[in-house]
Amino acid sequence: MSQAISYQEIVNISLEGINNAFRKYHKWSNGWWLGAAPESFIETEIANSLSKIVPYITLQDTIRSILENAEADLRGPKPRNSALGRMDIIVWWADETPRILIEVKKAWTNYALNKDARRLRQLINKESTIQKGLLVAYTAAGKPKTINNRLKNMADNSGTTLERRFGPKKRKDDDGVIWYWDAGCFSVNP
């Protein structure tokens, strides 16, 4: 790959990965929604989609390893739990340094992204090759208004920017009850 893929393309492909995860899990589980799947399944589907457009990705690298590979200055305060902490997905530059850090969340509350946004902000504020942090969140609710408010409040509460989302997708469960699901990508900037 001779040209770097844009950040917006990474956002778009991350959402495509969540959509693939929803469809696949729904089929595998005989109708269960993605909220019943482990986050690691969603991570893997996003990573699979990203692997087709970026030089390479890794999963679950330690914070220390990421910072060392990003040529970050390791002096000063470390992100909380840095010795044990891991990042869900790491998108790498072609020169084999970390570019974008991605955390995946099943988000059920207005505060679901706060902790990860704070941690990502600590990491991207260090002088390094890391360009941005990205939170990819899946949510579901009984009303579109609930989802719309939740995603807006998650961005406001975590100090992130909602870059893109699907918009509520309507589904009917086995009992005939209508539910909605959505996914969004939230940028974490320094």
In a domain, 39, yes or no: yes
Compute the distance between CA of residue 9 and CA of residue 7 in angstroms, rounded to an integer: 5
In a domain, 69, yes or no: yes
**Global pTM value:** 0.91
In a domain, 96, yes or no: yes
In a domain, 56, yes or no: yes
The domain of 28 spans 7-188
Q: Are 49 and 22 in contact (CB under 8 A)?
A: no
- HEC string of 125-179? CCCCCCCEEEEEEEEEECCHHHHHHHHHHHHHHHCCEEEEECCCEEEECCCCCEE
**pLDDT tens for each residue of the chain, 190 residues long:** 446 799 999 999 999 999 999 999 999 998 888 999 999 999 999 999 999 999 899 999 888 888 888 887 666 665 554 445 889 999 999 999 999 999 999 999 989 999 999 989 988 877 788 889 999 999 999 999 999 999 999 999 999 999 999 999 998 877 888 999 999 999 998 7
Number of domains in the chain: 1
Compute the distance between CA of residue 125 and CA of residue 120 in angstroms, rounded to an integer: 8
In a domain, 17, yes or no: yes
Residue 4 structure tokens:
């770097």
